[in-house]
Chain A
Amino acid sequence: MTDYNFAYLDEQTKRMIRRAILKALAVPGHQVPFASREMPMPYGWGTGGVQVSAACLVPEDRLKVIDQGADDTTNAVSIRRFFEKTAGVATTGRTSEATLIQTRHRIPEEPLTRDQILVYQVPIPEPLRFLEPRETETRKMHALEEYGLVHVKLYEDIARHGQIATSYAYPVKVEGRYVMDPSPIPKFDNPKLESEAIQLFGAGREQRIHALPPHCQVVSLDFEDHPFEASKADHDCDLCGSGTSYLDEVIVDDAGGRMFVCSDTDYCETRRGAGHLGRLAATRQEDAA
């Protein structure tokens, strides 16, 4: 496709987005407004992530796109094809081979390196939004570091449920300053937010970019006597046997039968390739054949 500029956006727009990204990296966890463009995919479907990726991509890049941890979910396919068409960059399913990974809702299991950029799609970047709907007010709360309300929400959870009842989009404090929403990743992924890679968060509809530079301190909010816990299903992967990766629960028949498999498809395949087998790996092989 030659009708469009490299990676769809014009250079002027990319420059504007890059400025927002640099500012976001300079003030970790702070939401930087940017003039989000109307993209050829709907708002809420990754327009923020796509714009951030477009502003970062260079022709030599190798791109990986995941949604729910998988490379072949429909929206991941759609976004990958968009960049294949508009940027002509190489793509990959391998986490270790990718130079830029765009993700929705997951952080890959394999630790990222200093040569990688992880771009998150963000629906609502404001961690205080559901406590205070007004943008004018939440911006003031961030500016003045008035975060008491966030803990009131956690307090209410414990008072009602005996534990903090937030299982994804779990709020974090960055470098002891800004409270940040890490996008709707399961809280299992929160510890991975402290990373060697650059992490960029793009919210298209809400016109905000925030970022975590490498090795940035990211603390999940909690109470001393109710510490944060990165939980997952209490099973091993039925395909690769991993006991430490985040699992999807798949219903396999009408009788309530189910299996648990890695949500990170690349991680699972790599392990199986190396000979690790889970409980149902054999039956699965037969199915495939």
Chain B
Amino acid sequence: MTPLLQVKGLTKRYGARIGCADVSFDLYPGEVMGIVGESGSGKSTLLNCLAGHLEADSGAVMFDTRAEGLRDVRAMSEPERRMLARTDWAFVHQNPRDGLRMGVSAGGNVGERLMAVGARHYGDIRAQAQDWLGRVEIAADRIDDRPTAFSGGMQQRLQIARNLVTGPRLVFMDEPTGGLDVSVQARLLDLLRGLVREMGLSAVIVTHDLAVVRLLAHRLMVMKSGHVVEAGLTDQVLDDPQHGYTQLLVSSVLQA
């Protein structure tokens, strides 16, 4: 099987400091990859390099495009990359304000990606938005409210709906449960797990919270100082950590 995403030797430096160094992995369709590590471990840099928000210094990010199979995203033109970003890819930010249009209604937020790819039937767009609000447990009568009137948890669920409405093949998530209360986190995780299973989503999730990866990720990479120090099946890594840093992480001595 062709991997959906194939990362080879991805490296990003900030001057003399290493952002992430020589990261390689394959992600297969339907697979969820978790990336864990403390703050400054390079996990967010890696995610942003994968998603094209940051320019890596070297390495390749190969994506299995619909039309031409595996292609290096870094070598694509900007229009191609932006097209990918609004069709096959999605990005869920830690702070929903970064991923939502706060001045646009919930329905408009969900509908934007549909309209960006050519949907021109108001009734259909609205029906799909309605459907997706339901799937992320936002009441139907909130469709014309702006996200500013939503709680943090609702905003995050709205951001997820906005990202998933076009059925992306790959989702990047940056600390999707960060900044939420514990009880709200649990509900969001539950929802995410349901969606991942139901849609067979492929995803790369960055988090410092091991509970998140335990629940969502099939495989795991542990990062420290920009390097991947351990990788493997989630249960294996968490139940039988080999690297000293992972052992420390699992014994939850480290909190980001």
Say whether A and B bind each other: yes
Give the B-binding residues of A (Cβ under 8 A).
Answer: 143-144, 146-149, 151-152, 155-156, 158-160, 222-226
Q: B233 interface residue, CB < 8 Å from A?
A: no
B65-103 with Cβ < 8 A to chain A:
78-79, 82-83, 86, 101
Q: How large is the interface on B (under 10, 10 to 19, 20 to 34, 35 or more residues)?
A: 20 to 34
**9 closest A-B pairs by CB:** A148-B116, A151-B115, A223-B122, A224-B121, A148-B115, A144-B79, A225-B123, A152-B112, A152-B108
- Please, could you name 7 A-B residue pairs with CB atoms under 8 Å apart, sorted by A? A144-B78, A144-B79, A146-B116, A158-B122, A159-B143, A223-B125, A225-B121
Contact B112 A148 (CB under 8 A): yes
Interface of A is mostly: helix
> What residues of A have a CB within 8 angstroms of the CB of B218 in the complex?
none
Contact B78 A151 (CB under 8 A): no
Given the complex of chains A and B, what is the CA–CA distance between A158 and B83 in angstroms? 27
Contact A144 B82 (CB under 8 A): yes
The winner among B79, B86, B105, B115 for most chain A CB atoms within 10 A is B115
- Residue in contact with A155 in the complex, picked from B79, B107, B113, CB distance below 8 Å: B107
Shortest C-beta distance, A241 to chain B (Å), equals 37
Shortest C-beta distance, B212 to chain A (Å), equals 31
> What residues of B have a CB within 8 angstroms of the CB of A149 in the complex?
112
Quick one: CB contact mask for B113-148 with A, threshold 8 Å, 1 for yes?
Answer: 101110011110110000000000000000110000
Contact B116 A159 (CB under 8 A): no
B139-161 with Cβ < 8 A to chain A:
143-144
Q: A158-B122, A159-B108, A225-B121 are in contact. Are A152 and B82 (CB under 8 A)?
A: no
Shortest C-beta distance, A129 to chain B (Å), equals 15
> What residues of B have a CB within 8 angstroms of the CB of A160 in the complex?
105, 144
Given the complex of chains A and B, what is the CA–CA distance between A77 and B120 in angstroms? 44
Shortest C-beta distance, B43 to chain A (Å), equals 29
> What residues of B have a CB within 8 angstroms of the CB of A224 in the complex?
120-122
> What residues of A have a CB within 8 angstroms of the CB of B19 in the complex?
none
Q: Which residue of B lies closest to A159 (CB)?
A: B144
The total number of A-B Cβ pairs within 8 Å is: 54
Contact B108 A156 (CB under 8 A): yes
Q: B104 interface residue, CB < 8 Å from A?
A: yes
Contact B104 A151 (CB under 8 A): no
> What residues of A have a CB within 8 angstroms of the CB of B117 in the complex?
148
> What residues of A have a CB within 8 angstroms of the CB of B122 in the complex?
155, 158, 223-226
Given the complex of chains A and B, what is the CA–CA distance between A223 and B123 in angstroms? 9
Contact B111 A152 (CB under 8 A): yes
Shortest C-beta distance, A157 to chain B (Å), equals 10
> What residues of B have a CB within 8 angstroms of the CB of A155 in the complex?
107-108, 111, 115, 122, 125
> What residues of A have a CB within 8 angstroms of the CB of B112 in the complex?
148-149, 152
Q: Which residue of A lies closest to B103 (CB)?
A: A156
- Residue in contact with A156 in the complex, picked from B83, B86, B105, B116, CB distance below 8 Å: B105
> What residues of B have a CB within 8 angstroms of the CB of A222 in the complex?
120
Q: Which residue of B lies closest to A141 (CB)?
A: B82
Shortest C-beta distance, B22 to chain A (Å), equals 32
Given the complex of chains A and B, what is the CA–CA distance between A159 and B143 in angstroms? 9
> What residues of A have a CB within 8 angstroms of the CB of B121 in the complex?
223-225
Given the complex of chains A and B, what is the CA–CA distance between A158 and B144 in angstroms? 10
Contact A152 B104 (CB under 8 A): yes
- Residue in contact with B120 in the complex, picked from A146, A152, A159, A223, CB distance below 8 Å: A223
Q: A155-B115, A223-B121 are in contact. Are A148 and B105 (CB under 8 A)?
A: no
> What residues of B have a CB within 8 angstroms of the CB of A151 in the complex?
115, 120
Shortest C-beta distance, A234 to chain B (Å), equals 25
Shortest C-beta distance, B67 to chain A (Å), equals 18
Given the complex of chains A and B, what is the CA–CA distance between A188 and B120 in angstroms? 22
